[in-house]
Amino acid sequence: MKNLITIAVVVAIALIAFNYFQSGEFKLMPGSSMSDESREVNRLRGDFRHAAQQYRQAGRSAGLSGLDSLPDAENALKTIDGVERDLKKMRSKVTEPEVKKEIDELLDEIAKYKRDVT
């Protein structure tokens, strides 16, 4: 019985974590009340975080093994630039203030990341 409860708790935590990284909200089940614009911002946030992780991984690979990981790092930075460009384009079309705030926060996060890595 304890094993079953433990498994249920682990699954619930994993589902909450997955939904947080996908939607930015701590929910057990993903909300369908999000607008298409908000979903797009969350997708772009995920793309940015994935690219930032790839950039860090390329740096670690180069440091540990001495392999040339410059193309991986360049691709990650190009992806980040693309996400930033898409957010700026999207911001001019968005009418919801909450979505604009999310876009501004993500653009600030990207700008800070770029300052830190360059």
Map residue 106 onto helix, strand or coil.
Answer: helix
Contacting residues for 4 by C-beta, under 8 A, at least 6 apart: none
Place of tokens 């890595």: 117
Whether the predicted model's global pTM rises above the 0.75 cut: no
pLDDT-derived band at 39 (thresholds 50, 70, 90) equals confident
- Residue 99 C-beta-side C-alpha neighbours within 13 Å: 20
28 has a pLDDT exceeding 70? no
111 has a pLDDT exceeding 90? yes
Looking at residue 55, what is its pLDDT? 87
Looking at residue 86, what is its pLDDT? 94
